[in-house]
A and B are shown apart, each in its own frame.
Chain A
Amino acid sequence: NAGVTQTPKFQVLKTGQSMTLQCAQDMNHEYMSWYRQDPGMGLRLIHYSVGAGITDQGEVPNGYNVSRSTTEDFPLRLLSAAPSQTSVYFCASRAAGGGRDTQYFGPGTRLTVL
């Protein structure tokens, strides 16, 4: 198993540009989520999905869209990048064992918005 994979590893955008961060998992996990990590603030939940076709907002959803057309993939879209979105983004997945199972993280995408 590859676990949770993310692409790209690094990305530089100009303000106003759009892009999609890719996330895929091969563990047949129902639950997937996106976090951003900023210095001194830990991980903050952006969006999450409890299964294909179902998404919901987390703590900091503004400026981001997600979709979940398959169990494996959970892309994160930035429609119009802003410098405040400079961060490291982590995708995670876990089995839907009543919310008590281990969450597996991808290696992260470091995004810089100029």
Chain B
Amino acid sequence: GESVGLHLPTLSVQEGDNSIINCAYSNSASDYFIWYKQESGKGPQFIIDIRSNMDKRQGQRVTVLLNKTVKHLSLQIAATQPGDSAVYFCAEIPNYGQNFVFGPGTRLSVLP
């Protein structure tokens, strides 16, 4: 069964296309950001992180972009695969704290 998602924004992409998932964060004092992937019935899984002194970071098939001016974070997935279907969360940590603050999530649906 689904743990989340009844009211989540959904992004549908064709297999093989690139996906871009966006996140607006709330705290201009946040200096560390993470993207998590959550598959149905499982806990969130770390994908990639970025610190506020960077504006871009690349991993395997994934790229995170950070625009501090407009407090916007994006996750780009290249050549999207069926296994990428999941809910994606961004999380931020203010530089004065230790606790993660999570966004509501976006559901990515990969079409065959």
Contact = CB atoms under 8 A, between A and B. Distances in A.
A102 B99 contact: no
24 contacts: A4-B43, A38-B4, A40-B8, A40-B104, A41-B104, A42-B4, A42-B103, A42-B104, A43-B102, A44-B102, A45-B100, A48-B98, A88-B3, A100-B32, A102-B46, A102-B49, A103-B34, A103-B100, A105-B36, A105-B44, A106-B43, A107-B42, A108-B43, A110-B1
Contact of A40 (B6, B89, B99): B6
Nearest to B97: A99
A107 B43 contact: yes
Interface of A: 4, 31, 33, 35, 37-45, 48, 50, 58, 88, 90, 92, 99-100, 102-108, 110
B93 interface: yes
Interface string B6-49: 11100000000000000000000000101010000111111001
Contacts, number: 70
